[in-house]
Amino acid sequence: MLALRLIERKRDGGHIEPGEWRALAYAYAAGHVPDYQMASFLMACFLRGLDRSETHALTDAMLHSGDSLDLAYLNRPRIDKHSTGGVGDKVSLVLAPLIASLGVAVPMMSGRGLGHTGGTLDKLESIPGFDTRMPLLEARRLIETLNCALFGQTEEIAPADRKMYALRDATGTVESIPLIAASIMSKKLAEGLTGLVLDVKRGSGAFLPQLERGLELAKTMIELGADHNCPVVALVTAMDRPLGRACGNALEMEESIHALKGEGPADLMEVTYALGSEMLLLAGAARTGAEALQMMEQAIADGSAARHFQRIIEAQGGNPSVVDDPAILPQANEVEIFVAPRRGFISRVEPRAIGRGITALGGGRTKMDDKLDLSVGFVITARPGDWVEAGEPLATVFARDRAGIDSGRATLRTAIAIADEANPPLALVSHRVSAAGVEVLAAG
Ligand code: URA
């Protein structure tokens, strides 16, 4: 009865009251509202939108449909980073141990890859033995002792969001800014944070490719954070090409380990340091961006960030020797170099095509229960703007078998474009958004 009334009201452009959002979210999480009614309600929300008070009420309703981490007793700043997702985006794997090694608690609850984007949990699980499934109590114990837990959304956290997000994914209602903002923030607020840094991707490989939509999402999440006493800062970063060189689960883990040891590609390090600086500033652990950068560079140079990752891996059941010997990660059976078919400028390395290519190789999902081959993917050394000669190596394909190599080669032929003219890529870190407004950091 309640659901039908709310569907009709939202369909006709009416307003849903906070108590009604709460009642609906609880009833749905408890199985008292069928999926067909919730799907219809979500479509009405998608088409009609939510105002600020409705977005706030939905966030609260989903947050309070489950448990929270409640880490206030730690008396330590607790900061997480969330990315809207991309290809080759392994920043969380570097940032979590790095920032935790500097005394800031990082309760990092992450997701799995779906569609063309990768997921932090899958990448972590390429480490032999590494377990990302844990009850909240265990996550709390790890954060207490190591400042960090790398885990997935448990049954206890925002169960209403869990069910609603899965339903939205199957009913064409994901790309709604208020629904996305409420979904992400309900989970992040359940981590008991004192601050959150958002990496909002833009460009052809981003979930929301247009800058304006990314900025709107950032502003909505900043408002939700402010309503809950959790300051949020967002950086807009480029996803018109993959980040770093490695794309694929175990390959990205290997690149992240190299990054923690001071051997990361320049673009990956620039994004990692930009987001890490915001985390350290929000935590009050650094007073200026320059001080934050110096702290992070030092933790990488003196080995403390890599050693901290080893401790986290061990505590989560993984083999810590992977940090010294990344060769223990899953290895692809077949490896082949891809060369430039002609001379010219690299004008495009299309992230969506690369992401779909990883899925075709068996390294990504089209359905949530797909089983992955964590060893497969690409290492792409060619960057937009580079001049290349015919026959010059541009990338490497890692596949399960020869058919995979053929599929990988076809992916790279489509994804990597060579032209007579250079086509400048988007600025890597272009905007900073906070409660004070939008700052342009770099043009383009
Ligand atoms: N990620 C989420 O957790 N929720 C959304 O709605 C979209 C992306």
The full set of domain ranges for the chain reads 2-49, 72-156+164-325+428-436, 330-419
pLDDT confidence of residue 34 = 96
Task: Check residue 1 and give its pLDDT.
Answer: 64
Pairing mode, if any, of strands 377-380 and 429-434?
A: unpaired
CA distances (Å), origin 395, targets 33, 129, 176, 398, 405: 50, 30, 36, 10, 12
CB contact set of 417 (below 8 Å; sequence gap of 6+):
346, 347, 348, 350
Contact by Cβ (8 Å): 397, 378: yes
pLDDT at residue number 369: 80
**Integer Rg of the chain from CA:** 22
According to CATH, what is the number of the domain 72-156+164-325+428-436? 3.40.1030.10
CATH for 2-49 (3.65.10.10, 3.40.930.10, 1.20.970.10, 3.30.300.10): 1.20.970.10
Closest CA to 89 of 198, 260, 207, 242: 242
The helix (run of H) or strand (run of E) holding residue 279 is helix 266-283
Nearest residue (by CA) to ligand 1, atom 5, is 180
Which of the residues 163, 187, 228, 258 is marked catalytic? 187
Alpha carbon of 179 to ligand 1 centroid (Å): 8
Q: Which atom of ligand 1 is closest in space to residue 84's alpha carbon? A: 8
Q: What residues of the chain score a pLDDT lower than 50?
A: none
Our measurement of the distance from residue 319's CA atom to the centroid of its chain's CA atoms, rounded to an integer in Å, reads 24
Q: Does domain 330-419 have CATH number 3.90.1170.30?
A: yes
Residue 267 dihedral angles phi and psi, to the nearest 5°: -65, -40
Q: Residues with Cβ < 8 Å from 15, sequence gap 6 or more?
A: 9, 51, 54
Q: Is 420 a catalytic site residue?
A: no
Pocket of ligand 1 (CB under 6 A): 165, 174, 179-180, 183-184
Q: 429: phi > 0 → left, psi -120 to 50 → alpha, else beta; which?
A: beta
DSSP string of 37-56?
HHHHHHHHHHHH---HHHHH
pLDDT of amino acid 300: 98
